[in-house]
Amino acid sequence: MNNHRVEKMEHVAVIVADVARARTFYEGVLHLREVPRPESFDFPGCWYRLGNLDLHIIGRDQSDPPSRRHFAIWVSEIEATAAAIESAGYPVLWERKYKIRDINRFFTEDPDGNRIEVMGPDAGVT
């Protein structure tokens, strides 16, 4: 009998070269709420709680090279979120080629080039 199964996604980890700079983006631009990390972690980083999933920011000497790898977040006001991200100086690249019914979405990136998909309800505005 197979008694093991995956129950949920627990966390996503992102590598950054500058944790303080990443905090400015994730807290100041995306308004994520930092949560405590285990005391035994002796390397730079910070954690954020998004619903029942954590985002782990891990500091290393250099960030990962750019790629299409990404994580996605859901927002209730996608137009306002896009405007806030753009006004903070980060890219907002709307995804129009691969449309998902009733969903509007764009891609941005954190200061280290980590790709983030931002999704929200399609208000038919963009």
Structural domains in the chain plus CATH codes: 11-121 (3.10.180.10)
Q: State both tokens at 45.
A: 């980083």
> How far is residue 107's CA from residue 86's CA, in Å, rounded to a whole number?
11
Q: Which strands, in side-by-side order, build the sheet including 93-94?
A: 70-74, 115-121, 103-109, 93-94
Q: What is the pTM of this model?
A: 0.89
Quote the CA–CA distance of 92 and 88 in Å, as a whole number.
11
Question: What are 85-110's pLDDT values in tens digits?
Answer: 999 999 999 988 888 999 999 999 99
Q: Write the CB contacts of 59 (distance below 8 Å, at least 6 apart in sequence).
A: 16, 17, 18, 19, 22, 43, 44, 45
Q: What distance in Å separates the CA atoms of residue 15 and residue 82, rounded to the nearest whole number?
A: 23
Give per-residue pLDDT as tens, 24-56.
999 999 999 999 999 999 999 999 999 899 999
Residue located via tokens 């905090």: 23
Laid out side by side, the sheet with 33-35 consists of 11-16, 53-59, 45-50, 33-35
Q: What is the pLDDT of residues 59-81, one digit of tens each?
A: 999 998 989 999 999 999 999 99
